[in-house]
Structure 1
Amino acid sequence: MSIKLRLTFMSFLQFFVWGAWLITVGNYWFGTKHWSGEQFGAIFSTLGLSSIVMPALTGIIADKWINAEKLYGLLHILSGLALLYIPQVDNPITFYYVIFAAMICYMPTISLSNSVAYTILKNNQFDVVKVFPPIRVWGTIGFIAAMWLTNLTGNKASFNMFYIAAFAAFALGFYSFTLPKCPPQKLISENASIVEKLGLNAFKLFGTYKMALFFIFSMFLGGALQLTNMYGDVYLSEFAGIPEYADSFVVKYSTIIMSISQISETLFILAIPFFLKRFGIKQVMLISMFAWVLRFGLFAYGNPTDGLWMIIMSCIVYGMAFDFFNISGSLFVETTTDSKIRSSAQGLFMMMSNGFGAFFGGLISGIVIDEFFTKDGIRNWHDIWLSFAGYALVIAILFAVMFKHKHNPEEVVNVGH
């Protein structure tokens, strides 16, 4: 099997593990277990908590002590064990700790999978910039495939979703031990301070008004990044409670409808260079923020019959909302920070958006929905989505007014180099 094919298989399974349960866990939580919304928000906050510290720690371990592909495999096997245990859990508190254990092991594998792929491609004389993107796209395809499998096998509200994810995690874990060796690079100096080792020296960027503003907005928008992953499938499935929609395609195949969002991601990635060159980084980030307003607003007014086009359009818009912010934000960091702390700065961007942002977004959204939008176990989805849309709109307007950045077409020319 060729190197590219082997890495493609790794990428496919990496996100298959996640896609098997991430979008549908809300159906299991609310529909099967009938647990509270406030506690559900805490479940998704584990993604953020795990993203704050674990990638940096596992990066240090892979840089100094253990082959990256072996650490990668070990983490997947451990996350698989946690996922395997979830169906035995009978209360939400224990569920939180078990899923937290799974995420502590899983979240750092996202960055480790990139490191492993980069190292193997470079060692085999491949052009990483040219070869890696088509390999990474198969990760999104794996995520979609898992969503479809979970839905079509009738497991979108069943504990079997965790067995599917665990099996894939074990398969990937053992498979990774067969990959070409990625020995420790030992790039971190023995005399480096703990601050440097953890990549925390990038925090000095908060001393610059423009960078501080960027990271703060990254955190606030990061609070919105997982909201539709948390609640989208539950929202569509709960149309079953309205007689005229109970037997609709949307209710039966809600996960497949939601997968349009991931399909959209793969398409909008291809459009990013054009938008960046034409509009610049700030405008593309603004487009992303207003796309989030549309994402939530369309959900608020959609339904499975005459409003189906709004649900589908919301899923299409998701690709623009998610990709445009992550990639243009990453490019902003790449083009405005010193090369000595660039990797740390990229880690800080991810920490603020997918770490602190996702943590607070998950936690607070659960509390708000339970407190203000749920009565007698019935959630008012129209107002929930409108409140999320209002949140995204306020962030977009403040960002447009406060964040100053001059468009430089040359920034785009150097993407990936």
Structure 2
Amino acid sequence: MTATMPRLGAMMFLQFFIWGAWFVTLGTYLVSGPLQASASQVATAFLSQSVGAIVAPFLVGLIADRYFAAQRILALLHLAGAALMWGASTATSFPAFAGFVFGYMLLFMPTLALANSVAMRHMQSPEKQFPPVRVAGSIGWIVAGLLIGWLGWEQTRSLELTFRMAAIASAVLGLYALTLPHTPPLARERDAKLGEILGLDAALHLLRSRAYLVFFLASIAICIPLSFYYNFTNPFLNDVGVRGAAGLQSLGQMSEVLLMLAMPFLFVRLGVKVMLAVGMAAWVLRYVMFAFGDADAGFALLVIGIVLHGICYDFFFVTGQIYTDARAGQAFRSSAQGFITLATYGVGMLIGTFLSGAVVEHYTTEAGPDWQQIWLFPAGVAFVVLVAFLFLFHDRPAAPPAAAAPH
């Protein structure tokens, strides 16, 4: 079991290196690159993530939990995705580019739940073993950002190379996944039921708990402001004159790594509600920092806002994955992870993606975007979600996440 952890860590490294290699600078490539996209088109491209996330629980519930080994499906999706990612780098029009990216994200988003499932199935104590393995994913994202900054692809407007770098890494992970520990489907021996195949059984099982229902709705709502960060932070930093913005943004993943290592200690002592609430509060603070920061006297505010990513992501999303795994139980783990992916990267960011494009266009004039007003909008949304969560979420101590193999 101990020897398996480094292998799972390598899987996570490649999984998130691929994502970070192109996703961070996507908005800048679309706005400043050869496609000259509008804010609405940027939002449309990012919409591919949400569509893929909505499809993910169906694919994972239909295939990984029932018919095929999870690591083999992971391999197939990454190998096919490599071809689509390379195609995106060659697209000369926005419709063609969007087609490649939408196709790619339909394949990539299910791999997030699959990678989690592969990891969790080979851990005896996920609440202690998962955070260090997941740290390798954060390191992969960091390496991708630093590499883009070091190569100067933002300054030389060579961001099409980010897609090719992601394509190569995706092919590597596709081959590597075939060597991962065998992760057979848990449900093979059972008679197929429609609700089970579509992941509806996992959803009904989880949402039976009032506390989980509140968490589920909060997950959707907090991902509305999250879309603003993913879609427009890199264009914002480049627009205000920050050099090597992708490299600077990797500071967020560096803080994520440090906090991820502390997750087992913090999780036991703070509990689910405090961890989730602190994560949401960090989103409010981050957007306020962005609203009043700039590349000169306010540069420190930008840095603080980026560094807050560790709290934003680990305290809410990683805690949410652990909480979901605890509530799901062994029979629904893969489907449950796909289900929470649907809530966050699917429904929540679908709404947020449409909204972020509309808000940026609303506050953009001939002089350019009014970034202060743009960032104050998601700050306000995150604050409302935080207050509602604090009043409504009451988890039952009878089923603490740490006692049920969290994810």
The residue number in structure 2 matching 1:378 is: 368
Cα RMSD after superposing both structures: 2.8
The CA deviation string for residues 356-388 of structure 1, in whole angstroms up to 9 with x for no partner, is 111211122112211x11112711111111111
> Matched residue pairs, number?
399
TM-score norm. by structure 2 comes to 0.88
CA distance in 1, matches of 2:9, 2:161: 26
Change in Cα spacing, 1:328 to 1:50, as seen in structure 2 (3 Å) is same
Do the aligned partners of 2:66 and 2:185 also contact (CA within 8 Å) in 1? yes
Instruction: Indicate yes or no: 2:361 matched with 1:411.
Output: no
Range 59-68 or range 312-321, more displaced: 59-68
1:239 Cα deviation after fit:
1.5
The residue number in structure 1 matching 2:377 is: 387
Q: Computing the radius of gyration over CA atoms, which structure comes out larger, 1 or 2?
A: 1
Equivalent AA in structure 2 for residue 254 of structure 1: A
Range 347-356 or range 100-109, more displaced: 347-356
Range 392-401 or range 160-169, more displaced: 392-401
1:226 Cα deviation after fit:
3.7
The residue number in structure 2 matching 1:285 is: 276
Equivalent AA in structure 2 for residue 12 of structure 1: F
The CA deviation string for residues 143-165 of structure 1, in whole angstroms up to 9 with x for no partner, is 11011111211223421111111
Equivalent AA in structure 1 for residue 139 of structure 2: I
Identity %: 31
The residue number in structure 1 matching 2:232 is: 231
Match of 1:310 among 286, 301, 309: 301
- Structure 1 regions of 5+ residues with no counterpart? 241-250
Instruction: Indicate yes or no: 2:317 matched with 1:319.
Output: no
- Structure 2 regions of 5+ residues with no counterpart? none
Change in Cα spacing, 1:415 to 1:312, as seen in structure 2 (3 Å) is farther
Instruction: Indicate yes or no: 2:73 matched with 1:71.
Output: yes
Equivalent AA in structure 2 for residue 198 of structure 1: L
CA distance in 2, matches of 1:320, 1:155: 29
Equivalent AA in structure 2 for residue 298 of structure 1: M
Instruction: Indicate yes or no: 2:258 matched with 1:267.
Output: yes
Counterpart of 2:295 in 1: which secondary structure?
coil
The residue number in structure 2 matching 1:61 is: 63
Change in Cα spacing, 1:284 to 1:364, as seen in structure 2 (3 Å) is same
Do the aligned partners of 2:327 and 2:401 also contact (CA within 8 Å) in 1? no
The residue number in structure 2 matching 1:95 is: 97
TM-score norm. by structure 1 comes to 0.86
CA distance in 2, matches of 1:213, 1:59: 23
CA distance in 1, matches of 2:338, 2:73: 19
Change in Cα spacing, 1:405 to 1:337, as seen in structure 2 (3 Å) is farther
Counterpart of 2:144 in 1: which secondary structure?
helix
Do the aligned partners of 1:282 and 1:407 also contact (CA within 8 Å) in 2? no
Do the aligned partners of 1:43 and 1:362 also contact (CA within 8 Å) in 2? no
1:346 Cα deviation after fit:
4.5
CA distance in 1, matches of 2:43, 2:219: 20
Change in Cα spacing, 1:145 to 1:208, as seen in structure 2 (3 Å) is closer
Do the aligned partners of 2:60 and 2:334 also contact (CA within 8 Å) in 1? no
1:333 Cα deviation after fit:
4.0
Change in Cα spacing, 1:80 to 1:129, as seen in structure 2 (3 Å) is same
Equivalent AA in structure 1 for residue 400 of structure 2: E
